[in-house]
Every structure is written in C-alpha cells, then in structure tokens.
Chains A and B, each alone.
Chain A
Amino acid sequence: MGSWIKDDGPNNNIVLSSRVRLARNLSNVPFPAMLTKESSSDVIEKIYDEEMRNGVFKEYKFYNMQDTGFVDRYALVERHLISPNLAAQNSIGAVLISNDEDVSIMLNEEDHIRIQAVLPGLQIKEAWNIASSIDDKIESKVDYAFDDRLGYLTSCPTNVGTGIRASVMIHLPGLNLSSNINKILQAVMQVGLTIRGFYGEGTEFIGNIFQISNQITLGRSEEETVDNLTGITEQILNKEKEARGLLFDNNRIMLEDKVWRAWGLMTNARSISGQESMKLLSEIRLGIDMGILKRIPVSVLNKIMVDTNNASLQKSAAKELNTPERDILRAEEIRKLLMQ
C-alpha cells in the first residue's frame, strides 16, 4: 500500500497526495498505439530485461496486463497505480510497481514509459526527485526519443517537452460549504492549471476532492512547473484553512450537525453506495480536522477511500459481486474500519 494511503505527510489534512508523472519513449520505435503485439513485447523486454530485473527493478513487482484479470487490473486503478487507460488496453501494456507502492512505471500505455511517483501530503518536489532519479536509471539503459529543440517526444503533443504532469489531490470541503469553490477553481484554471475529478480526466467531482495539475510541458522547466504548482497549492490550502476556521466560528452547529450525521450514517448503514460514502467520508475528514470527532488515523480514512471501491471489494471477497452485494459489503467494511 503506497505511503500516500497509509502515512502522514505535510498538510495532509487538506492535500491528500502529490504525484509526478514523466512520459518517455524509446527512439526509433513507433508509439504504443502503432505497435504490433510482437513489437510491443520487445519494448517491455528492452526496459525490463535480465539486468534491470536484478538491478534497478529488484524491489519491483511486474504485472503484464494480458495475464492480469479484470478485477485485479481495476484494483490497481483504484489504488492509483495504473491509469484506467492501461487497464482497458489489456493486450500490450505492463506495469512495474515498487514494493512500497510509491512508484509505478507503466509500459506501453499512451507512451512507452510512464514513470509515476506519489507521496502523502504536499511533497511535489520530493515526488519529482524520485521520478527523475528513476528516469536517469532507465535512460542509462535505453535511448530516449529526444529532440534538442522539442525535448522529450511523446505520443500526444500536450506532453511534449518535459513530459511532466505534476498534480495534487486536494480535499476542499470548507471552500465548497462556504460557496467559494467555483471562484477558486476558475482562478486556478486561469493560471494554466487543469482540474480533474477524483478518478481523473472527465470524471465528476465527488467527496470534495479535486486533482490539480500543470498543463504546459514545453518551454517551462520541471523545477518551474513544480514550484508553480506548489505555490498555488499553498495558496488554495490557506484559503481552505481560512474557510474552515470561519465555518467553525460562525456556523458551528450546522457544521457539527453535518459531521455527526455523517458519522451516524457511516457507522450504522447496512448498505451504502460508493458515491454516498465518498460524500460522507469528506464530512468525517472535516470533522476530525476541526476537532469535532476524535482523531482517526489518516490510513483508516484513506483505506475507506481506496479499498471500498468496486474492484477492491471484489478482490477482497475473491468473487464477483453485483451492485447490491457490493453496497452491503462496502457498509460492512466501513463499519469495521471506523469502529476498530
């Protein structure tokens, strides 16, 4: 389980995780979408050969998508270790996951190589350092598609240059409850950042969780990208703190009522949808941060967020479950986690 799920990090009462992903490609090999099945396994073999298996990737697990079942693939998506895109494209892709699950390297996703490092709290720079050092190790082994003028060449023109996508997963219930969220999100978009929902591109915002990431990859260095996102995240963080403080001072009963109702439902429900549990979990997180509820380790809250998703539930039940069955098991798991 990645440290972003089980450990504390700077400001992780608001910033749940920091992630950096680097897109890289091999020179003189067509991008994955243009590869035949055979040449796609050559790509994997080039990066994950005998030497790398026993060296750089000694502490990694390797999953070939074609040998990984549907439920297992989507359980990896729910832990944010692979993209929905890789899970869906199950014939040529693969992933290397570090034993601590902080690093995952997708092979033959949209690009040949996508290195991702995730850390708890606001630690974008640290995540960049980790991803960059793995990048160096892979580069010593293979030749990257790189152009002096355009930088790292990628399948999509939106990634060319640094190939970096730095992002934070940020929990903003205070700004939402005080009706300031749209103003903030609009301002964020105006400074060239993108906002996505919990499950990534095109997903809706649930549980007051937003993913904010850079858009520009050409003509801006990785350090500038990281510093820029860190600076803006700090500003949002302060606004969220301010909003929480004002709610506590001016609308205390409303706030307490919301939090205790959420607690009542989450600890008593016998059947609950993923959507509802995400909404209530947000209120419980807020209640803990405001001192309304007793402290619960962040690992418990994050386990509820990650492990009670559809695929993870079915994986732990070791069988396929229909929607009503999942909702019942989800309620059971949540009660167990919260009451321990």
Chain B
Amino acid sequence: MQCEECGKKPATVHIIKIENGAKTDMHLCEQCAIEKNPINLKANFSVQDLVAGLLKSGNKGPFKVDIVHEAKCNVCGLTYSKFKAAGKFGCSNCYKVFGDRLNPLFKKLHGNIIHTGKLPNKAGSKIKLVREIEKLKQELNTAVMNEEYEKAADIRDKVRELNSMEQEEHNGQLD
C-alpha cells in the first residue's frame, strides 16, 4: 500500500483516530506521519511525539498508532507519549499508571521485569514471605533433581507452612 498523503512511498504507519465515536483510518509513510502531522486534534497532544517515540523504540513497521487511550498520570500529569519522548518519569505513580506497557522497556534495559534486590525495612512482611517461598521452591527443585527425597520433603513442609502464613497475612489485610 502507498502512503495516502504523498502517494510515493510505501505506507508503514497505520493511524487509527477515534473522534466523537467516528473512526478514521490513515495509512502513511514514516516521513508524512512525522512531518505533515495530518490529524488535527483539539487537545495539545502531538501525534508527532507519539510516532517519533515509536520509531525511536526500534520496532519494525508497519506501526499501529492507537490514539484513543492516552495514558496520563493522575498525580504529576505526565502522558505516556511525553514519557516516551523524554525517557524520564514524573513521579512514582507514573509506574503504576503506565503499568504493563513498560515491561518491554524494562526487558530491553535490564533483561528483567522483577526486582530481586534489597527491600526497605518497612516493606510489608508479605513480600518477604513471597521471596522466601520462591527461594525454597527453587531449593525443592534442586533437591528433587538430586534425588534427595528426605530433604525435599522437609522443604515441602516448610513451603506449606509459609504458604499458610502468607494466606493469613492476606486475610488479615482484607479485614
């Protein structure tokens, strides 16, 4: 498919705009998507930022740009596209608001999405229990693999005990 704006280059960006319930599709080349910015939005939100962010992220096209839901932090006001452009969060609540869509970024930067290091002393006892259970489960696997069944049984008992503690903790929090 050719670009609907210039008609010369192949369309690699697919923009879906939903305004007042009416849906418009646009197929553009990267250049037109960035330079011509053909969609007039009422808000001061720039498609340019969003597309530039996507292009920078190194994904291979064609891109699908969904303009309907723009995540915005309710504490500091940072939008997801602004975050993509600047690369910095505005406050700790941004992490919650942007949620799982950050996972590919964390994967790219760190190869991981779960913290395994230090916990503040004030951190809930629940997370400490969960950590302990995870650790024991790994030990259990090793014990089974090494055919150390007696040791495995001991560890299994411990895991059960900690699991019920975690359950109590959970119920306690619900009260």
Contacts and interface: CB of A to CB of B under 8 A. Distances in A.
B121 interface: yes
B152 to A, nearest CB: 26
B117 A222 contact: yes
Contact of A34 (B91, B109, B117, B127): B91
A191 interface: no
A149 interface: yes
B90 A140 contact: no
B122 A139 contact: yes
Contact of A220 (B91, B117, B123): B117
B87 A219 contact: no
B110 interface: yes
A146 B76 CA distance: 17
B115 A156 contact: no
Contact of B110 (A28, A135, A161): A161
Contact of B117 (A27, A148, A155, A164): A164
Contact of A219 (B75, B116, B123): B116
B89 A31 contact: yes
B115 A161 contact: yes
Interface string B78-91: 10000000011111
Contacts of A161: 110, 112, 115, 117
B91 A150 contact: no
A13 to B, nearest CB: 32
A139 B109 CA distance: 27
B95 interface: yes
Interface string A104-146: 0000001000000000000000000000100110011001111
Given A25-B92, A30-B75, A157 B102 contact: yes
Interface string B118-132: 111111101100000
A150 B75 contact: no
B90 A153 contact: no
B39 interface: no
B114 interface: yes
B111 A219 contact: yes
Contacts of A149: 113-115
B115 A157 contact: no
Contacts of B95: 147, 150, 153, 160
A76 interface: no
B122 A34 contact: no
A204 to B, nearest CB: 24
B149 interface: no
B41 to A, nearest CB: 24
Interface in A138-191: 139-140, 143-158, 160-162, 164
A265 interface: no
A238 interface: no
A28 B116 CA distance: 23
Given A139-B120, A221-B116, A31 B90 contact: yes
Interface in B53-111: 75-76, 78, 87-93, 95-96, 102, 105-106, 109-111
7 contacts: A29-B91, A30-B76, A34-B76, A132-B118, A146-B120, A150-B113, A220-B112
